[in-house]
A and B are shown apart, each in its own frame.
Chain A
Amino acid sequence: MVKDQDYLKKTASFCIDLSKKLGATDVTAEVMHSISETVNFRNKKLDESDRSDSLGLALTTYIGKKKSSISSSNINKDNIKTLVERCIETTKITPEDEFNSLPDKDLLAKKINDLNLYDDDHIENNEKIEYLKEIEDAAFENKEIINTESGFSENKSNFILANSDGFLNGYKSSSFSASCVAVAKDSNDNMERDYEFTSTRHLNDMLKPNKIGKIAAKKTIQKLNPKKIESEKISIIFDKRISKGILSTFASAISSSSIARGTSFLKNKINEDIFSPSINIFDKPNILKGLGSQYFDAEGVKNDELKLVDQGVLKHYLVDTYNGKKLNLKSNGRSGGTSNLFFEKGSISYKGLLKLNPRTLYITETIGHGSNMVTGDYSVGANGFMVEDGIFKYPVSEITIAGNYKDIFKNITLADDLEFKYSTNAPTMLINGMVVAGK
């Protein structure tokens, strides 16, 4: 069982009281506990079981405008005392920073509505094993599949966030996830790999296991016998797995820390057109059972829904207390980033999007970390499929795609197939005119 709120509250309050006693003017403490149990299968056999029990404490002390932090997994009282003393001593000699402070009191979250983020259901390891057997049996129904790995993970966590202005709140959450990775071999002994997964707050909302196995196998087999193509400028479609990454890049480019440091290609773009006019982007923390849902941000600040982009125009940065003070903006409850971030769905169907151009490169996977947040330059390795007149013709691999986000953002057309499978979600996305390097 995860530790209850009382235990976490007591520990957090002990840290805050002790820090104040030792000379801190302001204090933030967070105490968290999580238990997770994972079972992994490989080729229809048990491969690994893992039980994780993690307790953690994070403490930040302020003396005026001086600040320092400690964290630890060793929460016995003697050790906490040593750490708090060390934190205070460090704070004393750390130089002042005029922007250091706790969040404004009137921005702290007060009223909290239940978002149903915790499911008390527990699934025993032998039941997890049954589920994984079904996954792998379904995947192995295809003779091309030579290898499978699947896993089932159950996670329960609880935390308390407290500060010396009286904030003391936290909540339990749960997650259940299962995945299947399949490997297939073609006639030339070349191998390809793909996957499918499900991840939910509640046990009963998980996908059926045979569906996961079937989809993983199908996606893997489709990739066999890929071709390398000539270098060319061509329209590309990002599968939903990839299009959400464009949104994640956008989110880090509008984080108040990159804006304040001047290291983002979206600096000074508030109220400017950065996307095509059909694009709207929302960040909505209060979705019931949402994978990214939060009752308040990492500093305890209330977080209302934000329409970050309205008809292509950038409306908000993601602002926390420290960088907000630097930029002369109030925190909008985005310390720690976005919650449930998504593009509003487009107006064209998935099939319609495939047919918009006579030839389109459909990207299902990218590899590498090729995003430069300062310049907006983008270059990654990729594979996917050549689509001609709306029909998937053949798999393509060992290519790169390159461009600049400023251009990519203005050339986006979205399909109407938005679903909430991750905390950041995007529909299938068409981008006109990207440079693809192949042969």
Chain B
Amino acid sequence: MNDFFSKTDLSRKDAESIVSETLNRCDDGELYLENSKSESIILDDNKIKNSSYNSDLGYGFRAVTGEVVAYSHSNEISKNSLMQSSNSLSSTLKSKKGIYNNEIPKTNEKFYDDINPINEKSLKSKLELLKEVNDYTRAKGGIVQQVTASFSGEHKSIEIIRSGGEVLTDVRPLIRFNVSVMLEKDGKKETGVYGIGGRQSYDEYLKDDNWKKVCDEAFRIASVNLNCKPAPAGEMKVVLGPGWPAILIHEAIGHGLEGDFNRKKTSAFHDLMGQRVASEGVTIVDDGTLHNRRGSLIIDDEGTPTEKTVLIENGILKNFMQDRLNARLMNTRSTGSGRRESYKHVVLPRMRNTMMLNGKYSQEEMIKSVDKGIFAVSFGGGQVDITSGKFVFNCTEAYEIINGKIGSPIKGATLIGDGPSILKEVSLVGNNMMLDPGIGTCGKAGQGVPVGVAQPSILINKMTVGGTQL
């Protein structure tokens, strides 16, 4: 465990009494302390372009009364600084009185180990491996024009102090390995990107020459795109492949089921609890308890243990994802979904690992059933407008489907759809559920947090494909 009070004039006892003193007239709040170390090593254009190390230390002090949140953060952990924050919080929440909500379930279950991935593998061996990655990928032929490979690792210790002296801690490792390849053939250039990662040591992901599979996959995607033709434009059937394409679930459905948008009634889902929002056979969960996954957490950033939250069961809306604030105001319980990017950010209800569970159909059956449509295997970024429900995402690998058969690859096109109605258009759910490789970062209100997604192949009856061929 990290000791936040060893090199400062602020003792743990002082901190606890300032917290209790400040929060005793509030509904909720906490002092959140964070010490994070991270590294990034990038090979690009045949050279180590960047090797950097970051060490970040700070606190965020939050007071909540009714719907009002007062937040103050600083990277100076000192008595003076914490007192200044306390004054800032008290000035916002003056003359309020509330009941302090102090229930936190305990957990002993660990979903990842307390390791420091940065120190576990020497910098030298990481540099050597990046060089090997570069050589291996470039050896695939003269069409390889550019290779970028990177390691990023993080070790984050957090501590939460509540009024009354309750203390909760977590230590979170996270790593990612990424390869991007640019190919050039007959004057045409295309890129392919692939990566892996999660909450274990680098070697867990790189062992047995696993890194070669990452290079192979990035090269394969770029090669497919070299032969692609322009994408069609208009409404058509879409088959989504398993795994990472579940970013569609994340964008189209997930964000709209976060507690804050529903409490504020700005989500298109806010009055649909208990109603049918998806076809029969569609079950979606958000699970923070998967071992070593990128989106997993032992406790969330308010100290609540994470859980497997059923969002949609057999097409019926069952639960929203909640942090303490929104749960209290909506008369429900926190689902352990309160997350923040760092001590510099306020807590928001966020996704963890969002998954559509298996149905009974094979991917083959789905493709056979389509006369004209597209088969989308992988995506780049996605985005949603919570209020109107419209969402988009960009294909990075997709094929046309003609008369029940997979045809030529097609150029990166944007797919656009409507969140509340898209799941009603899901006509077949596959039996091949897959987790994504561990690369997702979700952005909300300017805060990025690591997340995971999973799904089997699904058939969507109609979506608009934003190609250039009318």
* Chain A residues with CB under 8 A of B417: 398
Q: B265 on the interface (CB 8 Å rule)?
A: yes
Known: A73-B75, A380-B414. A48 touches B55 (CB 8 A): no
User: Could you tell me the distance in whole angstroms from the C-beta of A70 to the nearest C-beta in chain B?
Assistant: 5
Residue of B nearest to A191 (CB): B387
Q: B404 on the interface (CB 8 Å rule)?
A: no
**Are A54 and B344 closer than 8 Å at their CB atoms?**
yes
Q: B380 on the interface (CB 8 Å rule)?
A: yes
**Are A53 and B75 closer than 8 Å at their CB atoms?**
yes
**Are B380 and A369 closer than 8 Å at their CB atoms?**
yes
**Are B466 and A52 closer than 8 Å at their CB atoms?**
no
* Chain B residues with CB under 8 A of A401: 466
Known: A51-B72, A72-B54, A397-B390. A435 touches B381 (CB 8 A): no
Q: How far is the CA of A374 from the CA of B188 in the complex (A)?
A: 9
Q: How far is the CA of A356 from the CA of B114 in the complex (A)?
A: 65
Q: B388 on the interface (CB 8 Å rule)?
A: yes
Residue of A nearest to B188 (CB): A375
Q: A2 on the interface (CB 8 Å rule)?
A: no
Query: CB-CB contacts of B164-188 with A at 8 A, as 1s and 0s?
Result: 0000000000000000001000001
Q: How far is the CA of A48 from the CA of B91 in the complex (A)?
A: 12
Query: CB-CB contacts of B440-470 with A at 8 A, as 1s and 0s?
Result: 0000000000000000000000001111111
Q: B219 on the interface (CB 8 Å rule)?
A: no
* Chain B residues with CB under 8 A of A46: 68, 92
**Are A94 and B127 closer than 8 Å at their CB atoms?**
yes
User: Could you tell me the distance in whole angstroms from the C-beta of B246 to the nearest C-beta in chain A?
Assistant: 17
- Contact partner of A368 (CB less than 8 A), chosen from B55, B69, B124, B393, is B393
**Are B234 and A439 closer than 8 Å at their CB atoms?**
yes
**Are A261 and B45 closer than 8 Å at their CB atoms?**
yes
Known: A233-B470, A368-B383. A55 touches B75 (CB 8 A): yes
Residue of A nearest to B43 (CB): A95
- Contact partner of B388 (CB less than 8 A), chosen from A190, A402, A438, is A190
**Are A70 and B53 closer than 8 Å at their CB atoms?**
yes
**Are B48 and A95 closer than 8 Å at their CB atoms?**
yes
**Are A192 and B51 closer than 8 Å at their CB atoms?**
no
Known: A48-B68, A369-B383, A402-B468. A379 touches B412 (CB 8 A): yes
- Secondary structure dominating the interface of B: strand
**Are B47 and A193 closer than 8 Å at their CB atoms?**
no
**Are B465 and A437 closer than 8 Å at their CB atoms?**
yes
**Are B233 and A183 closer than 8 Å at their CB atoms?**
no
**Are B413 and A48 closer than 8 Å at their CB atoms?**
no
**Are B394 and A48 closer than 8 Å at their CB atoms?**
no
Q: Which among A83-91, A171-179, A206-214, A298-306 touches the partner chain?
A: A83-91
**Are A375 and B233 closer than 8 Å at their CB atoms?**
no
Which chain B residues (87-121) contact chain A, with CB distance < 8 Å? 88, 91-92
**Are A183 and B387 closer than 8 Å at their CB atoms?**
yes
Q: B416 on the interface (CB 8 Å rule)?
A: yes
Q: Which among A74-82, A157-165, A272-280 touches the partner chain?
A: A74-82
Q: A367 on the interface (CB 8 Å rule)?
A: yes
**Are B233 and A435 closer than 8 Å at their CB atoms?**
yes
Known: A97-B47, A231-B233. A50 touches B75 (CB 8 A): no
**Are B464 and A437 closer than 8 Å at their CB atoms?**
yes
Q: How far is the CA of A401 from the CA of B466 in the complex (A)?
A: 6
Q: How far is the CA of A290 from the CA of B48 in the complex (A)?
A: 36
* Chain A residues with CB under 8 A of B468: 379, 402-403, 435
**Are B72 and A368 closer than 8 Å at their CB atoms?**
no
Residue of A nearest to B74 (CB): A53
Q: How far is the CA of A398 from the CA of B389 in the complex (A)?
A: 10
Which chain A residues (39-56) contact chain B, with CB distance < 8 Å? 42, 45-56
- Contact partner of B57 (CB less than 8 A), chosen from A50, A74, A381, A437, is A74
Query: CB-CB contacts of A352-387 with B at 8 A, as 1s and 0s?
Result: 000000000000000111101011010111010000
**Are B182 and A262 closer than 8 Å at their CB atoms?**
yes
CB<8 Å pairs between A and B, sample of 14: A48-B69, A69-B52, A69-B53, A191-B388, A192-B387, A369-B380, A370-B394, A372-B412, A375-B188, A380-B392, A400-B233, A400-B414, A400-B466, A437-B234
Using a CB–CB cutoff of 8 Å, the interface residues on chain B facing chain A are 7, 44-45, 47-58, 67-76, 81, 85, 88, 91-92, 123-124, 127, 131, 145-146, 182, 188-191, 231, 233-235, 264-266, 268, 344, 346, 380-385, 387-388, 390-394, 411-414, 416-418, 464-470
Closest 7 CB pairs of A and B: A400-B466, A381-B392, A437-B233, A368-B392, A73-B75, A193-B387, A69-B52
